[in-house]
Amino acid sequence: MTALTALPTYLPLPEAARKYGLDEARIRALVESGTIKAAMVGDTVVVQESEVQNSGKPLRKEDLPEWKKHAHLKGVEIGFTESTEKYGIGLSSLQRWYKKGIIAEIKREKGLGGEKIYLDEADVAYCAEIYRNRGGRGRWLFDEDGLPYKPRTGPLSL
């Protein structure tokens, strides 16, 4: 019977996320990248508990489904003004995300009216998606790694 106790423990994905304080999207991205072993039990995705527990390596925003949805825009230049018009995000929010490094700069051009900064449209679209999904104004949307902020309490904490 000792051989059975050596078998790895698997948890349903939502339970693993709650138990280790991780976003389900983060765990799914780790499964898709092959970092965490997973299996299907009926219609339920289960993940190896020890691997979830040891997955302290920070996930990049590029690994999230919200960013991958806009990956085709990677490297496409868009200015601040065009971003505000196209994505309906306030200029101050875009500037804050740019200064924090969540939105990458592609290039700068000097002109008669000053300097124009071109942003990576994939990052802008990702930020706009999180902004719309999380309720926007007056809320923490991103952590220091550019990932969706996860509060300790409230509806997004589970």
Residues whose CB falls within 8 Å of the CB of residue 155, separated by 6 or more in sequence, listed in order: none
**Domains along the sequence of the chain with CATH:** 7-57 (1.10.10), 65-134 (1.10.1660)
Q: For residue 59, what pLDDT is reported?
A: 62
- What is the arithmetic mean of pLDDT over 53-66? 71
What per-residue string of b and e applies to 111-138 under the rule 16 or more CB within 10 Å gives b? eeeeeeebbbbbbbbbbbbbbeeeeeee
Q: For residue 152, what pLDDT is reported?
A: 55
Q: For residue 112, what pLDDT is reported?
A: 83
To the nearest 10 degrees (0 to 180), the angle between helices 121-134 and 80-87 is 40
Straight-line distance from the first to the last Cα atom of the chain, in angstroms, rounded to the nearest whole number: 36
pTM attached to this predicted model:
0.61
CB 50 within 8 A of CB 37: no
* pLDDT value at 158 more than 50: no
* pLDDT value at 56 more than 80: no
* pLDDT value at 57 more than 70: no
Of 29-38, 98-107, 113-122, the one with minimum mean pLDDT is 29-38
Alpha carbon dihedral 102, 107, 110, 112, in 10-degree steps, equals -70
Helix (H) or strand (E) holding 39: strand 38-41
- What is the arithmetic mean of pLDDT over 121-134? 91
Structure tokens at 137: 């104004």
| Alpha carbon distance 142, 134 (integer Å) | 10
